[in-house]
Amino acid sequence: MSTTMSFRSSLLRPLAVAALAFGLAAPALAADGHGTPKPPREEWSFAGPFGTFDQAQVQRGFQVFKEVCASCHAAHLFSFRNLAQPGGPSFSEAQAKAVAESYQVQDGPNDAGDMFDRPGRLSDRWPSPFPNEQAARASNGGAYPPDFSTLAKARTYEVGFPGFLIDIFTQYQENGVDYIHALLVGYEEPPEGFALPEGAHYNKYFPGHAIKMPQPLSDGQVTYTDGTPETLDQYSRDVTAFMMWMAEPHLEARKRIGFQVMIFLIIFAGLLYFTKKKVWKSVGH
Ligand code: HEC
């Protein structure tokens, strides 16, 4: 009797340890403690090993950024000339120049030692809406609208076990854009009994739910010229794709070169194998 018991417990022990470990990890799995749901996974043209940006979408996203988000959010790594680079919105140089010239940029000092404003050039950085962080906070109820330059790659959400392992194999890398899209469409009325701090707005996907950014987009707000539906969901997708390009302008090149390197390595491995056979041919086993 006691031998069977100890046999059984020795079998069960690893299971018990695994269960305990899982139990400890479980709170982390169940969202992030604020009852924040996981953002749904969306379809993105740039996902997967052969992903590329949808040029028309990124151009629309730029329009949304320029007309809506750029009045609060800066993008200090972004220059007008980037608009004409391949692998993104890929505007013509003349179009990018026209955008640049529609902004006034501070330059100087001139010979008299004064700063002056002049129309933007391709080499200029995207002008920030506020002169400094303090001014940005003062206008936004104390919250700082984060810089867009790398935001799509800087934001993510907890996937937990075993999802994060599966994601490695399915090459899921769109956590940031899924979160931002969900955030933009995730404004709701606060549930009964939720104490919303003053100046904050309830968002289903924002950790803690109280966000200082008022809902930036709504149906029909931006006029598209290519017949794409002017809906909140569409705007959110487009601007998020644009933010992804901004955060990783060389994404297409990275994926293309990555694939070429894999092909090269496979061929190279074959060559090495036959070279090895030839070099050692005359040596007996
Ligand atoms: C009226 C000003 C304003 C506008 C317009 C605005 N934002 Fe914001 N945004 C903010 C502020 C303020 C925050 C910081 C919120 C906080 O920390 O509570 C923020 C935060 C964010 C965040 C980060 C959320 C996080 O997880 O930290 C994202 C993403 C974002 N905004 C996207 C956008 C997009 C996309 C647009 C344009 C469609 C936009 N915002 C337009 C003020 C604005």
Best probe residue, ligand 1, of 60, 72, 179 (max atoms within 8 Å of C-beta): 72
Sign of the dihedral through C-alpha 251, 63, 69, 223: negative
Closest atom of ligand 1 to 155 CA is 26
What is the reported pLDDT for 35?
79
Contact partners, residue 76, CB within 8 Å, separation at least 6: 125, 126, 128, 147, 149
Locate tokens 């026209």: which residue?
98
Locate tokens 């690893």: which residue?
14
Output the CA angle 257-46-172, nearest 5 degrees: 90
Q: How many Å separate Cα 103 from the centre of its chain?
A: 27
What is the reported pLDDT for 162?
93
Q: Is 4 left (phi over 0), alpha (psi -120 to 50) or beta?
A: alpha
| CA dist list (Å): 233 to 46, 219, 228 | 18, 8, 11
Closest atom of ligand 1 to 243 CA is 35
Half-sphere exposure of residue 2: CA atoms within 13 angstroms, side-chain side: 0
Q: Say if residues 207 and 183 touch (Cβ distance below 8 Å).
A: no
What is the reported pLDDT for 13?
57
What is the rounded CA–CA span in Å between residue 200 and residue 197? Answer: 6
pLDDT in tens, the chain (285 residues): 444 445 455 555 555 555 445 444 444 444 444 578 999 999 999 999 999 999 999 999 999 999 999 999 999 999 999 999 999 999 999 999 999 999 999 999 999 999 999 999 999 999 999 999 999 999 999 999 999 999 999 999 999 999 999 999 999 999 999 999 999 999 999 999 999 999 999 999 999 999 999 999 999 999 999 999 999 999 999 999 999 999 999 999 999 999 999 999 999 999 999 999 999 999 987
What is the rounded CA–CA span in Å between residue 267 and residue 261? Answer: 10
What is the rounded CA–CA span in Å between residue 250 and residue 204? Answer: 32
Give yes or no for residue 74 CB within 6 A of ligand 1.
Answer: no
Closest Cα to atom 20 of ligand 1: 145
Distance 146 CA to ligand 1 centre (A): 7
Locate tokens 């569409």: which residue?
234
Closest atom of ligand 1 to 200 CA is 18
What is the rounded CA–CA span in Å between residue 213 and residue 73? Answer: 11
What is the reported pLDDT for 284?
82
Q: Is 67 exposed, middle or buried (0-12, 13-18, 19+ CB in 10 A)?
A: middle
